[in-house]
Amino acid sequence: MSLAERIEGLRARIRRACEAAGRDPGSVELLPVSKKQPLALIQEAAALGFGRFGENYVQEGADKAAAAPNLAFILLGPLQRNKAKPALQHFAEIQSLDRPELAERLRHLAEELTVVRPVWIQVDLWGEATKLGGCAETDLPELLAALGGDPRLPLRGLMAIPPPDDEAAFTQLAGLRERLQQELGLALRLSMGMSADLEAAVKAGSDQIRIGTAFFGERRY
C-alpha cells in the first residue's frame, strides 16, 4: 500500500468517527509520528499536505529539523533537562512537559534563547508514568505554578498515552481538560488516540490523533 493510500484510509476513518460523534472532521488533526522514518518519506508526506511531524527523540528530531527547515517537528517523547536546550532550538512544540523542574528549566532557556515554544502537558491518570512519563493529576497544580503562565511557553493542551483498550481513559482525559479550562480560563486541546483507538478518542473529544506505523508503514530500525 502506498503512503497516499494509507493516508486516505486514515482520513476516511477520522471522517467517519467525526460524523458519528457529530464533529467537524477539520477539527481533528492527524499528526504523523515520524520517528525512525527516513527524511525522504517525511518529505513525501509533506508533498501530500503535511507540515507537522511528531518525533520521540531529541537528537533524531533535531537532525531532521535542521535538514528540513520548511517543516515543523513536535517533541512527543520524554525530555531530560540536559536536552532541554536543543529541544527548544529545534522543535516547534514540546508535548511532553511533565514535571515542575523541567518547566523551570524550559522557562530559563526560553528567556535565554529569546524563543516562544508552545507546550503541552503530558498527563498520566493511570500510574503509567514510570514507563511512559506523564504528570499525575495531583501534581498538576505544582507543574502549572512552575510554568507560571510564561508567554514564552504558552500552554496549548494536554497529551496522554492511555493504557491500551481502555476507552474510559479518553473520557477521563476529556473531563480533566474541561476542569482545567474552567480553572485557567484557557482553551486547551487534547492529543490522545492512535491507530488502534482513534474512533474512541475522537468520540471523547480528541483534537489530535498521533499515528506512526499506520501512516508511514513499518519503521526502519
176-184 long-range contacts, Cβ below 8 Å, gap at least 24?
176/123, 176/125, 176/137, 177/205, 180/140, 184/144, 184/155
Contact between residue 44 and residue 217 where contact means Cβ atoms under 8 Å apart: no
Q: Cell for 144? A: 502549572
Helices 3-21 and 39-47 pack at an angle, to 10 degrees, of 60
Q: Within its chain, how far is the Cα of 20 from the centroid?
A: 24
Rounded to 5 degrees, what angle do the CA atoms 200, 201, 207 make? Answer: 150
Residue of 73, 9, 87 whose CA lies nearest to 39: 73
Residue range 124-162, pLDDT digits in tens: 988 865 567 899 999 999 999 999 999 999 999 999 998
Measure the CA–CA gap between 65 and 139, rounded to whole angstroms: 32
pLDDT tens for 65-122 read 999 999 999 999 999 999 999 999 999 999 999 999 999 999 999 999 999 999 999 9
Determine the pLDDT at residue 162.
86
Rounded Cα–Cα distance for residues 210 and 194 (Å): 5
What pLDDT does residue 129 have? 55
What is the dihedral sign for C-alpha 20, 46, 164, 58? Answer: negative
For position 152, what pLDDT does the model report? 98
- What is the reported pLDDT for 220? 65
Residue 12 has pLDDT above 80, yes or no: yes
Q: For residue 212, what is the DSSP state?
A: S
- Average the pLDDT over 31-54 and give the result: 97
Least confident piece of the model among 9-13, 149-153, 174-178, 192-196: 192-196
Q: Which cell numbers in the block locate residue 80?
A: 531530560
pLDDT at res. 130:
55
The region of weakest confidence among 54-58, 166-170, 213-217 is 166-170
What does the pLDDT read at residue 155? 98
pLDDT in tens, 179-207: 999 999 999 999 999 998 999 999 999 99
